[in-house]
Amino acid sequence: MTQYQSFLSFSQEVLDARTAGKAIVALESTIISHGMPYPQNVAMAREVEQIIRDGGAVPATIAIIGGKICIGLSDEQLELLGTSPDAMKVSRRDLPFVLSQGKLGATTVAATMICAELAGIEVFVTGGLGGVHRGAETSFDISADLQELAQTSVAVVCAGVKSILDIGLTLEYLETHGVPVLSVGQQGFPAFFTRESGFNADFRLDTPAEQAAFISTKWQLGLKGGVVVSNPVPLDQAMPKEEIDAITSQALQEADAAGISGKRVTPFLLSRIKELTDGRSLATNIALVKNNARVGAALAIAMPGVTA
Ligand code: PSU
Ligand code: MN
């Protein structure tokens, strides 16, 4: 038994799926603890899990609880993450701390990828990736999510990255590190709240079979690292571009004026944007995660070696 296995704790649902060789989809928990307010966060988490079940796969929401990496959470554990103000936002750097201290940890995209890989899960669904922040040439604020995509072999279904980030530099960074960016249903790389960012994805692959073939080819070649599967928000749920751009600028200025830095930047911007849009950004956020869950379940089923 390799050493990391003693840290993993699987829910019964995920254990059964592993035994049966069924498709499993990982889900992150920072989106619950730091990405959305209560009670919408917990409701979203439950609904997304159900969409994945309805799509024929098994959801595995990941968090750190009681010194264990929990792969698949109970209803009570989802509630705990959604209501605990002391839940830590856990990225690669923080994993040994939160595990060895027995603290409550919500995993970011980076940490969820690490845990999913340890658990043998290939497909992970989230809302948006972290990326290169605007002004990173002076702040050095580049999300650890990008380095994780460079080295950890998990496919991440997302709605692109938010325009709180420098989307062009984020794509440049991914290119440098050999991380392919796929798009579903359009050539354009989506900007989370809106369907177009003004940048293109590298490869448009509309069907789960093509996406699965791309991803498995990459890994069969021994090319380690993730694949970004970008899926635009549904048209009727997208936000008007001018409005979200103006609000994003305001939120960025406020973060700057308030001296917000490090891991607090992204949660601050998300909650300010929600306030400034009177909650409409939250509705869009929930809609896009659900849409990603449908794509992720279909992709997980299409991966080689999975039992239908
Ligand atoms: N972007 C979103 N919603 C989120 C996050 C990013 O639209 O909830 C979360 C994810 O967990 C992501 C993390 O991994 O923020 C990135 O944080 P940072 O920028 O501090 O690396
Ligand atoms: Mn950062």
User: What distance in angstroms lies between residue 175's CA and the mean position of ligand 1's atoms?
Assistant: 20
CB 191 within 8 A of CB 161: yes
Q: Which of 13, 28, 122, 148 is catalytic?
A: 28
Taking the CA of residue 162 as reference, the ligand 1 atom at the shortest distance is 7
13 annotated active-site = no
Closest atom of ligand 1 to CA, residue 143: 21
pLDDT of residue 188: 98
The closest alpha carbon to 81, from 9, 28, 126, 117, belongs to 28
Residue 126 Cα to ligand 1 midpoint, Å, equals 9
* Tens digit of pLDDT at every position of the chain (308 positions): 679 999 999 999 999 999 999 999 999 999 999 999 999 999 999 999 999 999 999 999 999 999 999 999 999 999 999 999 999 999 999 999 999 999 999 999 999 999 999 999 999 999 999 999 999 999 999 999 999 999 999 999 999 999 899 999 999 999 999 999 999 999 999 999 999 999 999 999 999 999 999 999 999 999 999 999 999 999 999 999 999 999 999 999 999 999 999 999 999 999 999 999 999 999 999 999 999 999 999 999 999 999 97
Are 56 and 65 in contact by the 8 Å Cβ rule? The answer is no
How many angstroms separate the CA atoms of 6 and 36, rounded?
Answer: 31
Cβ of residue 148 lying under 6 Å from some atom of ligand 1:
no
DSSP line for 174-232: HHHTT--EEESSSSBPPBTTBS--SSB-SEE--SHHHHHHHHHHHHHTT--S-EEEE-P
- Tell me which amino acid residue 172 is: E
CB < 8 Å & 24+ apart, contacts of 73-77: 73/11, 73/29, 74/11, 75/46
Using the Cα atoms of residue 273, residue 278, residue 280 and residue 282 in order, give the sign of their dihedral: positive
Rounded distance between C-alpha atoms, residue 211 and residue 136, angstroms: 32
Q: How many Cα neighbours within 13 Å face the side chain of 19?
A: 7
Candidates 102, 55, 103, 45; CA nearest to 75 is 45
Q: Is 258 helix (H, G, I), strand (E, B) or coil?
A: coil
- CA dihedral (109, 15, 87, 1) in degrees, to 10, reads -80
Nearest Cα to 185, choosing from 208, 165, 161, 163?
A: 208
Q: What is the pLDDT of residue 25?
A: 99
- Based on the residue annotation, tell me whether 79 is a catalytic residue of this protein: no
Cβ of 144 closer than 6 Å to ligand 1, yes or no, is yes
Q: Are 28 and 38 in contact (CB under 8 A)?
A: no
Give residue 1's pLDDT: 60
CA 154/CA 140 separation, integer angstroms: 25
Residue 1 CA to ligand 1 center (angstroms) comes to 33
Q: Kindly indicate whether the ipTM for this predicted assembly is greater than 0.95, answering yes or no.
A: yes
Q: How far is the CA of 108 from the centre of ligand 1 (A)?
A: 6
Amino acid at 183: S
Q: How high is the pLDDT of residue 2?
A: 78
Q: Is the CB of 105 under 6 A from ligand 1?
A: no
